[in-house]
Amino acid sequence: MGSRCLLRRTVAEILATDSNTFIAELEHAFRLQLGKRPTESEINSWRRSIPTITQALAAEGLHQVVVLVELRGPLTNSRMDLVLVGSHPTDGRPSVVVVENKQWSKVEPVPASELVKVPGMPRDQVHPANQVWAYCNTLSNYLTALENARVYGIVNMHNASSADLRPVQPMTMGLDPEVCRNVRIFGDDQRDDLARFFRSVLSATDAATNADYLLKSPVRPTRALMTAVSDAVLRRTVFTLLDDQRLAYDHVLRAVHEANANDHKEIILVVGGPGTGKSVIAVEVLGALSRMNTPVVHTTGSKSFTETLRDQLGTTNRRAKQVFTYFNNYAHVDQNRIDVLIADEAHRIRQTSNTRFTPRDRKSTLPQIEELIRAARVPVFLLDEHQIVRKGEVGSIDLIKQAAKDLGVNVTEVHLRDQFRCGGCQEYVDWVEELLGLAGHGPRFWEPLDSFELWLADTPESMERYLKAQLDRGLQARIAAGYCWPWSDARPDGSLIDDVVIGEWKRPWNSRANRTLNGIPPADLWATHPGGEGQIGCVYTAQGLEYDYAGVILGPDLVWRSGAWAANPRASHDSKVKGAANFDQLVRNTYKVLATRGMRGAVLYSVDPETRSMLASLGVPKI
């Protein structure tokens, strides 16, 4: 798997090409790679911004430096405006400059934050220096070809004057020292400075070879969220936040500062599909605030997710583990008792925190959403409405906004667009949503991708063999299924019963125990602990978690008939769902969750021959 860009040209080739022809080539490449037309603003940016860079390079005789237009970052679908590739003039090492072009003519800092405000834009923006430095880090961290390269970032603000940019310069705004050292912002009246900068960090020597290495470079696997929790919470920043992820993070820190300075209360609502980085944002915010000694808690409605987070802190950090809580822990917390409450997987919010086990004198009279909002000065909600999989789960954008309105609290909303799971392939997530009728116009033909593998298995045995081969490579793989088989308790010795039976193939569900028995991990750690690969997981043990390869068994609760999906609650053994009026929606959400757990690939298998035939007709290759 390599990296892709829309177009690769030398400076000389771009300058020798008529402007309209060059733009037409970019439009054609855009449609070919992304399956849609570029927007007018994208076309205008190419037309107006690219010449300001190529002319500055040519002014210093750097005609053979390679320009990669719209390079797609490794393990994400974020696109970098320009990446310039050459060698460093002093030591000959590969040298790369990531360019973020901005059409802005005016920009101002947002007080007490690292955000900026652009006149005419309705929302605050990520500081472009932070944005481009995140791209630099992504290239350096994940492309092995750049291990010894010099990587720089610049922001090309060719419509603004240097005087207009002075208030937002990295040092003026107190951005991270690494950003201040490695990112430069250039205005319209600084073209000579830009050219001299290029001369100081780039030469054309070996530019073509270095560009080849970059584009063909193996991509290091991203560090799995759960294995990095301890570092992120207790020690340091682990994940590079890109674009909208960084915007959400900056908004939380801004709201915290305002809450402390002005007794301010504000909700931050972060919305995104699977793999867009919601939990990564949650963990990075939690870590940053913990290191600042700000009272903060992380809360979910998922036992597996919460217990896995706690497990990753090990046995020596009991106090830190206490920050990982559940939604129903806040029924009787005093108003604004906590500075920041991070509600991850907020689509799992329920109507009430009361259960049949709640003592009468401890029952809450408030909806759970109001309890969570009241508990903190800055409640942060992260959700995906397409991941509601249980009857009684009510978390939604509308629910949060209505509760905020009723309580008189302002909401800042951030939508995450970029995909980081599934090999960074939003195309795969879109395909799954259209396959299941959750978006678009129904199933469409599968076009193989460079960065994500999708396979169809004819039998559960072939699926298991394929996933075992991935385990033998040192990767993580799990099989999860729809809840369509009985689920027995373990035998007295802890061994599991083979409940999932498909022909001659038999496997147990994951353990229901709360501790490891006979090398089999407890239910909450099935997705992340060794030994989990021998059992079949379900949506309740997989949701919110990830592994390299996901095997998905579609049971008889969802089959393809007469050109449409047919949901069958009678085939379900899930008492939490089968009686729901919206069973059809819940079961399709369930299979979306299961199909989007994989970071590198997925294998689909349906127990129903007609459904397998439909998947094969869509071009999904067989193992």
Distance from C-alpha of 422 to C-alpha of 276, rounded to nearest angstrom: 10
Q: Which residues of the chain, if any, have pLDDT below 70?
A: 1-2, 75, 220-238, 309, 312-321, 419-424
| Strand ranges in 362-417 using DSSP code E only, listed in sequence order | 376-383, 410-415
Q: What is the pLDDT of residue 315?
A: 46
Alpha-carbon torsion, ordered 113, 114, 117, 123, to 10 deg: -80
Q: Which residue has the tokens 């906004």?
A: 401
Distance from C-alpha of 277 to C-alpha of 328, rounded to nearest angstrom: 24
Strand partners, 270: 382, 414
Distance from C-alpha of 60 to C-alpha of 58, rounded to nearest angstrom: 5
The ranges assigned to domains in the chain are 7-216, 225-415, 422-617
Pure H helices in 376-491: 397-407, 426-435, 460-472
Distance from C-alpha of 375 to C-alpha of 387, rounded to nearest angstrom: 25
Residues 6+ away with beta carbon under 8 Å from 312: 226, 227, 229, 230, 528
Structurally, at CATH architecture level, domain 225-415 sits in: 3-Layer(aba) Sandwich (3.40)
Amino acid at position 392, single letter: G
Question: CB of 622 within 8 A of CB of 456?
Answer: yes
Angle at 562 between CA 559 and CA 565, to 5 degrees: 35
Tokens encoding 184: 């430069």
Q: What is the pLDDT of residue 226?
A: 47
Alpha-carbon torsion, ordered 593, 599, 600, 605, to 10 deg: -20
- For helices 303-312 and 225-234, the axis angle rounded to 10 degrees is 60
Amino acid at position 459, single letter: T
Distance from C-alpha of 214 to C-alpha of 473, rounded to nearest angstrom: 25
Distance from C-alpha of 351 to C-alpha of 367, rounded to nearest angstrom: 6
Torsion 494-495-499-500 (CA) sign: positive
Residues 6+ away with beta carbon under 8 Å from 319: none
Tokens encoding 444: 């469409």
Angle at 521 between CA 518 and CA 524, to 5 degrees: 155
| Nearest alpha carbon to residue 159 among 100, 99, 81, 103 | 103
Q: Measured between alpha carbons, how far is residue 571 from residues 30, 447, 470 in Å?
A: 44, 32, 31
SS percent in the chain: helix, strand, coil, step 5: 40, 20, 40
Alpha-carbon torsion, ordered 346, 231, 214, 11, to 10 deg: 80
Reduce the secondary structure of 450-467 to three states and give it as a string: CCCEEEECCCHHHHHHHH
β-strand pairing of 477-481 with 453-456: unpaired
* Residues listed for the chain: 623
Q: What is the pLDDT of residue 322?
A: 72
| Strand ranges in 489-546 using DSSP code E only, listed in sequence order | 500-502, 505-507, 536-537
Which helix (DSSP H) or strand (DSSP E) does residue 3 occupy?
none
Model confidence pLDDT, tens digit, residues 51-78: 999 999 999 999 999 999 999 887 677 8
Distance of CA 120 to the CA centre of its chain: 29
The distance in angstroms from the start CA to the end CA of the chain is 19
Distance from C-alpha of 423 to C-alpha of 151, rounded to nearest angstrom: 23
Q: What is the pLDDT of residue 214?
A: 95
In angstroms and rounded to an integer, the radius of gyration of the C-alpha atoms of the chain is 26
- DSSP SS3 for 606: strand
Q: What is the pLDDT of residue 236?
A: 62
Q: What is the pLDDT of residue 231?
A: 65
CB crowding 159-193: b at 16 or more within 10 Å, else e: bbeeebbeebbbeebebeeebbebbbbbbbebeee
Which helix (DSSP H) or strand (DSSP E) does residue 60 occupy?
none
| Strand ranges in 526-620 using DSSP code E only, listed in sequence order | 536-537, 547-554, 558-561, 564-567, 598-606
| Nearest alpha carbon to residue 433 among 615, 591, 572, 299 | 591
Angle at 98 between CA 93 and CA 99, to 5 degrees: 140
For 295-351, the DSSP string reads: -EEEEES-HHHHHHHHHHT-SS-HHHHTTEEEGGGGTTPPTT-EEEEEETTGGG-BS
Q: What is the pLDDT of residue 545?
A: 81
Other Cβ atoms closer than 10 A to 447: 10
| Strand ranges in 482-611 using DSSP code E only, listed in sequence order | 500-502, 505-507, 536-537, 547-554, 558-561, 564-567, 598-606
Other Cβ atoms closer than 10 A to 359: 7
Model confidence pLDDT, tens digit, residues 26-55: 999 998 887 789 999 999 999 999 999 999
Q: What is the pLDDT of residue 6?
A: 94
